Amino acid sequence: MESDSPSTKAVDEATAAASQQDNAMTTEAHAEQSSIAVEQIVEQLAERVTDLEETVEEQAEQIDSLEEDKADLEDRVADLEAETARSRAEDRQRLTDAEDRLDDLEKGDITDETPTPQADTNASTEPLTPIERLSESGDSTDVAANVTASVRRAVTLFENLPDWGQSTPKGRVLKPSDRPKQLLEAACDESLAWTQYYRAAEALERLSKGAVTFFDHSKHGRTVVLHEGSGVHDRATQSKKGRQQSSLAAD
């Protein structure tokens, strides 16, 4: 077999060198492209990080704004609660004033704002209670025109309590066993429910300023007591004696 000629070897060597050069250029190109791709990825990530940072900053500002709004709302709620409390206090005061005016009507003080001493005091200068002033009006028609049905019945209950109640060391005591509802029905000439009797007894307690109490006794039930030692008790019992003496004199 014949050996290769020098020219053939030269061609082969040139071809190999060119191939190596091409391979080197290709590798370099690939490396450059990879580097460019990495740089692009890094830039994209950097931009994403920047975007995220801006988003976080915006959200932080929104949170701050929401917290400020919350603080403002809490302040407004506190102001409204304070205003509501003041309004309720004023409403309670207006209600108290209205109740006082109603008491004045029940007392019969609708025309005379400054009662005379003779009308309001007894011999010991103790002021008469509203229930006594209503009782002393003596005109049932006038009383009925200015007070509620419960108050009118309370007046009748008060006027008869010295007769209907039992005399005890505590005073005159009217128990359910004494049939107070039936007695009041007969005196008022009307049919009553127990709740109506209870309202009359409660009105009597209120208008007597505590001289008469109405409470649920643990043994006897709902009991009315005209207390011994009170000016109301003394005047009521004296009035009873006066009526008895007048009746005897008439006989």
Whole-angstrom Cα distance, residue 236 to residue 208? Answer: 12
The encoded tokens of residue 85 equal 């409390």
Span between the terminal Cα atoms of the chain, in Å: 182
Residues lower than pLDDT 50 in the chain: 1, 82, 86, 110-123, 245-251
Q: What is the DSSP letter of 4?
A: P
What is the reported pLDDT for 146?
Answer: 63
The sign of the dihedral angle between the CA atoms of 170, 215, 230, 232 is negative
Q: pLDDT tens across 196-226, in order? A: 999 999 999 999 988 999 999 888 899 999 9
What is the reported pLDDT for 27?
Answer: 75
Report phi then psi at 138, rounded to 5: 70, -5
Q: pLDDT tens across 101-128, in order? A: 666 665 555 444 444 444 444 435 578 8
Domain ranges of the chain: 39-107, 124-250
Whole-angstrom Cα distance, residue 27 to residue 43? Answer: 24
Q: Which amino acid makes up residue 69?
A: D
Contact, 158 vs 143, CB < 8 A? no
Whole-angstrom Cα distance, residue 211 to residue 17? Answer: 133
> Shortest CA distance to 226 belongs to which of 173, 159, 150?
173
